[in-house]
A and B are shown apart, each in its own frame.
Chain A
């Protein structure tokens, strides 16, 4: 009995460790190589140095690209929060003809490859003469991240007792005031959570961005790609590590203040 329990426990923890190692392996390898003192991306690293971090942080292309990434992230995730919240509200509250179609359209960015989305916006952008600006990048990112915000806000809405809105109306609040005094404050965690998810996705999006960015507007992942095509030193590992670090920080903040499980609808408690 005790032997069987022991065996099962060993198997369980072996599986847990295996999954952990597998899920984090690529990131661990990249981060490890970033500490190489030499110009070769050796794994395991041959020593410990922070020189590539210094280079990554001072490299003008990365600096400009990071600024571009922040601009695109800020605009696309903020717009996505507003748009996604409105969509979620619409789908949640109204039963209209074509609701199913709207829902399907909202999920389509998860089905259509980012490659196709990027290519589509490239063709559209060149037709409208937008290829040199941020507008087309923001539009592409907006499309890709809105479904996640919609999902997060929809879950929040489903968890709000509909009697709150009814009680407010009963007490004399107009529909607009019910919306801004009751509904929005109660789903705010979902909206902020959706914003954070959108921000992370936008910050790390590469495939579609490759098509819609120009050299002046390239985002960080695109700049990293362009760098690695020409150089093979650990700078790229260092900037990767920094990117991982910043998205992790966003995730930790989100989890601390809002509870990711709730936002992602893993449990509806």
Chain B
């Protein structure tokens, strides 16, 4: 039964292609020459700080905003000039925008009724969607009688009931409290697996992006910074903006003083260290770069660490987080560095104000060109 439903809907998958799209408001470039192909059935997240253009881009796919330049294709068809109501996209709004003068059933049925399905067909499809979104028994409820999580599910049900070519999600989880958000993330993943809908998800929350997406599109100032799978994005950020935006990271100024095919030696302040060279590093000797080290790649030095990679810093604070502890240290000439130590090993901690010897996990150090971003 479930399997049948899946294949029936999967056949409706559609790709989306954003081709050199720009949107200007006066002199402001909200979206600046963005090109992005999205595969049929893919879950793609547009991630970036507020004002980066992600919502504008989503609204252009839905047809609420006309691009100043470029084209948008859905399922291989140019829809740039197709009005909103003929585009066949399903949008979930940040505020949900559930019709307050209709009950749950009529909200979910709204799109189907515009499509001139027979009455029994509408009922069948609505009930099927309501069941899938775990809303059975709530058909007659008014919107104001629903909790935030239930409203969220009705909004999703309303959007997927029409079996849209693309599902568009505009920060749909931001209005929920933390525990509900985690639960809805799981339900979103299940919904995507069940429907196979091509999905574009907009968020400023990197945690949501990392846990939900097939691919993440990081945007800043109207432009795409990087398109990558979550793991790749985290471990191989393309530039300083992506490195700092995704997860926590220490950004340290560094000078390369020796570069071979296998290794790169760099000076971070007074510290000298040698890291294995990654293929994408094109730096030569004498260049100034930025070295990015994630807190989980900083650890307490052991006797096995070579002397030149070991740094002594002064412990500033310990921030206990349950599963791990964030420790801030000050290293002369570098400023503060954060390290993340697993567990709450209070006994093993170096007391605040005391010197601690730390080492970087050199294979995980990320080097990026030192251009201001």
Nearest-CB residue, chain B, relative to A185? B101
Please, what's the 1-or-0 string for B89-104, where 1 marks a CB less than 8 Å from any CB in chain A? 1110101011111000
- B62 interface residue per 8 A CB criterion: yes
Interface residues of A in 160-174 (CB under 8 A from B): 161, 163-164, 166-174
Interface residues of A in 164-220 (CB under 8 A from B): 164, 166-175, 177-178, 181-182, 185-186
- Chain A residues closer than 8 Å to B111, beta-carbon distance: 171-172
- Chain A residues closer than 8 Å to B162, beta-carbon distance: 171-172
How many A-B residue pairs lie within 8 Å, measured between CB atoms?
62
- Chain A residues closer than 8 Å to B91, beta-carbon distance: 166-167, 170
Contact assessment for A164 and B97 in the assembled complex, using a CB-CB cutoff below 8 Å: yes
Among B85, B97, B98, the residue within 8 A (CB) of A173 is B85
Contact assessment for A167 and B93 in the assembled complex, using a CB-CB cutoff below 8 Å: yes
- Chain B residues closer than 8 Å to A164, beta-carbon distance: 97, 99-100
Which residue among A169, A173, A185, A186 has the maximum number of chain B CB atoms within 10 Å of its CB? A169
* Cβ of B18 to closest chain A Cβ, rounded Å: 18
Nearest-CB residue, chain A, relative to B93? A163
- Chain B residues closer than 8 Å to A163, beta-carbon distance: 93, 95, 97
- Chain B residues closer than 8 Å to A173, beta-carbon distance: 85, 110, 114
**Given A163-B93, A177-B114, residue A169 in contact with residue B99 (CB < 8 A):** no
- Chain A residues closer than 8 Å to B97, beta-carbon distance: 161, 163-164, 166-167
- Chain B residues closer than 8 Å to A186, beta-carbon distance: 100-101
Contact assessment for B85 and A172 in the assembled complex, using a CB-CB cutoff below 8 Å: yes
Among A168, A172, A177, the residue within 8 A (CB) of B99 is A168
- Chain B residues closer than 8 Å to A185, beta-carbon distance: 101
**Given A163-B95, A167-B91, residue A172 in contact with residue B114 (CB < 8 A):** yes
Nearest-CB residue, chain B, relative to A178? B85
**Given A161-B95, A163-B93, A177-B114, residue A170 in contact with residue B84 (CB < 8 A):** yes
Contact assessment for A169 and B85 in the assembled complex, using a CB-CB cutoff below 8 Å: yes
- B119 interface residue per 8 A CB criterion: no
* Cβ of B166 to closest chain A Cβ, rounded Å: 11
- Chain A residues closer than 8 Å to B86, beta-carbon distance: 172
* Cβ of A189 to closest chain B Cβ, rounded Å: 10
- Chain B residues closer than 8 Å to A174, beta-carbon distance: 85, 114
- B158 interface residue per 8 A CB criterion: yes
- B281 interface residue per 8 A CB criterion: no
Among B95, B101, B114, the residue within 8 A (CB) of A171 is B114
* Cβ of B15 to closest chain A Cβ, rounded Å: 19
- Chain A residues closer than 8 Å to B115, beta-carbon distance: 172
- How many Å lie between the Cα of A220 and that of B309 in the bound state? 99
- How many Å lie between the Cα of A224 and that of B320 in the bound state? 83
* Cβ of B2 to closest chain A Cβ, rounded Å: 26
* Cβ of B127 to closest chain A Cβ, rounded Å: 18
Contact assessment for A169 and B101 in the assembled complex, using a CB-CB cutoff below 8 Å: no
Hey, which bits of chain B sit against chain A, CB under 8 A? 62-64, 83-91, 93, 95, 97-101, 110-111, 114-115, 158-159, 162
Question: Could you list 29 examples of A-B contacts with CB < 8 Å?
Answer: A163-B93, A163-B97, A164-B97, A166-B62, A166-B64, A166-B84, A166-B91, A167-B91, A167-B93, A167-B98, A168-B110, A169-B83, A169-B85, A170-B63, A170-B64, A170-B84, A170-B90, A170-B91, A171-B110, A171-B158, A171-B159, A172-B85, A172-B88, A172-B111, A172-B162, A173-B114, A181-B110, A182-B99, A186-B101
- Please give 7 more A-B residue pairs, beta carbons under 8 A apart, in addition to A167-B93, A170-B90, A173-B114: A166-B62, A167-B99, A169-B85, A170-B87, A173-B110, A174-B114, A178-B85
Hey, which bits of chain A sit against chain B, CB under 8 A? 161, 163-164, 166-175, 177-178, 181-182, 185-186
Instruction: Please name the 5 residue pairs, one residue from A and one from B, whose CB atoms are nearest each other, closest first.
Output: A171-B111, A172-B114, A163-B97, A167-B97, A169-B84
